[in-house]
Homo-oligomer: A and B are copies of this chain.
Amino acid sequence: MLKEGELISRIRAAFCGEDPDLVLGIGDDTAVVRGIHGFTLYTKDLLIEDVHFLRRAHPPRLLGKKSLNVNLSDIAAMGGIPRYALLGLGCPQELETNWLEDFLGGFREAAAAASVLLIGGDVARAEKIAVSVTAVGEAERYVTRSGARPGDGLYVSGTPGDSGQGLELLKKGLQPGDDPGADPLLLAHLDPAPRLALGRELGKRAIASAMIDLSDGPAVDLGHICEESGCGAVVESRLLPLSKALRRFQAEAVHMALHGGEDYELLFTVPPDNEKKLDSLRRTFPITRIGRMVKEPGIFLEDDGVRSPLTPAGFSHF
């Protein structure tokens, strides 16, 4: 079978097309179409049982929340406001009514928290649970992956790696409540929160020059920014914000922070002239400068003054 990346490239190549209202097609966090409030944003994510989650390890309420929130994270990464969602749900026959009610309750919670309305969808029988959510958002101004320039600062929100480590612990059978010290990691994986307010500020106030949400880990997602922007990046390992919990459970915390996936934090670049505007956001949001954009193509890790190429190490789902 084709690899995911290759398949996406083929789809992207096969479906390029012109349209008077289409501003941005396949290849960014969301598609962008002209809309009544400036631009309309579209994104769609799949969550498949035993690939993206284990039924016994993921409480249905949190899975319901996550299935919407991972889509809202894409809208956050464009600087948009989410408005609507459509939910496709493939349900195994044996699925309990309680499971469904909890899942829908969680989905509703996430929708209410972001003022998102569910406007349609489809349910069908399936052997494994399959969740497909489409989210629709809007923005007067949006941020792509392609606007980074050499000299821009490179920033991340939150503490990447927590979700990847949480997944490791879940695989070992740990559940929330088993060890309070592990809960931030487990919940980073089970119940990630989209950075809507931060994304919005970075977009609306034109602070970020490029932005992406962290779904495959910084090493991979930074690669998308570099590729689309036509420049390179240097990450300084000493600058990486590592949570106390991650450091406790993971000896290779820097590695996990760079390669762990599903953090749904924002990775973004800021031109030097905008650093002051960014300062005003630091009081409200956990933002850390982790490096800078450079002219040479490629992604590099700087550790104690030594620079080495940072190659994606992949991240594992279940």
Residues of A within 8 A of B (CB): 1-2, 4, 7-8, 10-11, 14-15, 17, 19, 21-22, 25-26, 30-31, 33-36, 40, 42-48, 50-52, 83-84, 86-97, 100-101, 104, 108, 111, 117-128, 130, 132, 134, 136
Contacts and interface: CB of A to CB of B under 8 A. Distances in A.
A122 B44 contact: yes
A25 B121 CA distance: 10
Given A35-B35, A48-B90, A111-B15, A21 B83 contact: yes
Given A26-B118, A84-B22, A1 B94 contact: yes
Contacts of A52: 124
Contact of A46 (B90, B108, B120): B90
B96 A1 contact: yes
Contacts of A14: 104, 108
A119 B7 contact: no
Contacts of A11: 87, 104, 118, 121, 123
Contact of A125 (B48, B94, B117, B123): B48
A86 B121 contact: no
A11 B83 CA distance: 18
Nearest to A101: B10
B26 A119 contact: yes
Given A10-B104, A22-B117, A122 B46 contact: yes
Contacts of A22: 84, 117, 119
Contacts of A124: 4, 46-48, 51-52
A66 to B, nearest CB: 14
28 contacts: A4-B124, A7-B91, A7-B100, A11-B104, A17-B117, A19-B83, A21-B36, A22-B119, A25-B118, A25-B119, A25-B120, A34-B36, A35-B36, A40-B40, A42-B120, A42-B136, A45-B122, A46-B90, A46-B122, A46-B126, A48-B126, A51-B90, A51-B125, A51-B126, A52-B124, A90-B130, A127-B128, A134-B134
Given A33-B84, A34-B36, 11 more contacts: A1-B94, A10-B101, A15-B118, A19-B84, A33-B119, A42-B119, A44-B122, A46-B126, A48-B90, A48-B130, A127-B128
A46 B133 CA distance: 11
